Amino acid sequence: MKERIVKWDNAKAILIFLVVFGHFLTAFKCVETEYLYKVIYLFHMPAFVFLTGMFSGFNINKIVKRILIPYFVFQTLYVLFSFVLMPDRIYKLSYLYPHWLMWYMFSLLGWTITIPLLKTKNKRHKFVAIIIASLCVVVSGYIPGGISFLSASRMFSFYIFFVLGYYCKKYKDNLFQNMNNKYKFFFVLITVIVLVVFAFYYKSVDMDVVRQVAPYASIQDVLIKILTISAGLVLSILFFMMIPNRKIKILTNIGSHTLYIYLLHGFVVRYIEYLYANLEVQFTFVQTMLYSIILSVIVCLICWAVSSLIRVLSKKVKKHTIIDDK
């Protein structure tokens, strides 16, 4: 078994917390938190997809076990859960229309099957692949039905981060470490500029644009798409530069279980969102932040514990299967 790189586990732990936290902020619909969750959405999935690309490989057995089976199982469970929770809404169980957060799993399948095409040592070929992935960002807003069908819009929008992550695979041991102070200052400066400019214009940027699911209505939307993706790249780089490369007990451990935390947390978020909507109350900024942070920590810890249990049980089943085969 390859030794895990704690820096990236720490990064994944923080990112999965931001995913859960962002979902709770969205669920509570507090106007005062709009800037915060839009900033989170600018970079947390780009950074996550970058790491996904960095640690991805093409293996049919792993694709089936780690992507296809979880996708079919949780796609079914989420549709059934939503149907039971909100029977007044119409839900269709279709595996070509990923339900809510299952877009990531379907997109992961799409990104992973392109790896044989990305495998090359030729720098020109890599450059061409990056250009094509960049063009996918622009094309994504023109895909008919791309918001829901195959989650094509997000699959195309975030593909550039998967490709960049994949091509950084061989540098993963030291990537973004021991960087020259000039480079650090440059990225800090660019990040500050991005955040300040975004603070002036974030209200005019639709949330669907930030989440990369909005179709183009005008040529201006194309520019906004390119700017949000570029901002996501800058913020992601600064985020990775700030991550410590040392083991931090629970944080590092959680970072090695992010897939099932991602898949499981949605049930809790959806249920709390449903309860909150029926309360007919509006949380203040302080209440929204407090409840979102507390719930995110609790949900991450519970899902981490469940994920650890699933991993232990699967190892025991595998061990007994090997013994029985002998």
* pLDDT value of residue 35: 94
Identify whether the C-beta of residue 165 lies closer than 8 Å to the C-beta of residue 49: yes
Distance CA 132, CA 163 (A): 10
Report how many domains make up the chain: 1
Identify whether the C-beta of residue 12 lies closer than 8 Å to the C-beta of residue 44: no
Compute, in degrees rounded to 10, the torsion defined by CA atoms 50, 55, 56, 57. Answer: 150
The answer to whether residue 312 sits within a structural domain is: yes
The answer to whether residue 1 sits within a structural domain is: no
Angstrom distances, CA of residue 33 to CA of 94, 169, 208, 288: 34, 35, 16, 8
Q: Name the band, by pLDDT with cuts 50, 70 and 90, for residue 320.
A: low
Identify whether the C-beta of residue 160 lies closer than 8 Å to the C-beta of residue 229: yes
Q: How far apart are the first and last CA of the chain?
A: 23
The answer to whether residue 66 sits within a structural domain is: yes
Distance CA 121, CA 68 (A): 29
Q: Name the band, by pLDDT with cuts 50, 70 and 90, for residue 239.
A: very high
The answer to whether residue 17 sits within a structural domain is: yes
- Pick the closest to residue 22 from 2, 44, 7 (CA basis): 44
The answer to whether residue 191 sits within a structural domain is: yes
What integer is the mean pLDDT of 148-174?
93
Identify whether the C-beta of residue 39 lies closer than 8 Å to the C-beta of residue 195: yes
The answer to whether residue 277 sits within a structural domain is: yes
Residue with tokens 């044989």: 116
Token digits of residue 189? 């400066």
Radius of gyration of the chain (CA): 20
Identify whether the C-beta of residue 32 lies closer than 8 Å to the C-beta of residue 292: no
Angstrom distances, CA of residue 263 to CA of 16, 27, 256, 299: 11, 17, 14, 12
The pTM of this model reads: 0.93
Distance CA 282, CA 32 (A): 11
The rounded mean pLDDT for the chain is: 89
Q: Which amino acid is at 319?
A: K
- Pick the closest to residue 71 from 52, 96, 54, 44 (CA basis): 96
Q: Does residue 256 surpass a pLDDT of 70? A: yes
The answer to whether residue 295 sits within a structural domain is: yes
Q: Does residue 278 surpass a pLDDT of 90? A: no
* pLDDT value of residue 59: 95
pLDDT tens-digit map of 92-118:
789 999 988 999 999 999 999 999 999
pLDDT tens-digit map of 121-137:
999 999 999 999 999 99
Within 10 A of 217 (CB to CB), how many other CB atoms are there?
9
Domain that holds residue 135: 6-325
The DSSP call for residue 257 is S
* pLDDT value of residue 168: 96
More confident residue, 175 or 289: 289
Q: Name the band, by pLDDT with cuts 50, 70 and 90, for residue 321.
A: low
The answer to whether residue 278 sits within a structural domain is: yes
Q: Name the band, by pLDDT with cuts 50, 70 and 90, for residue 197.
A: very high
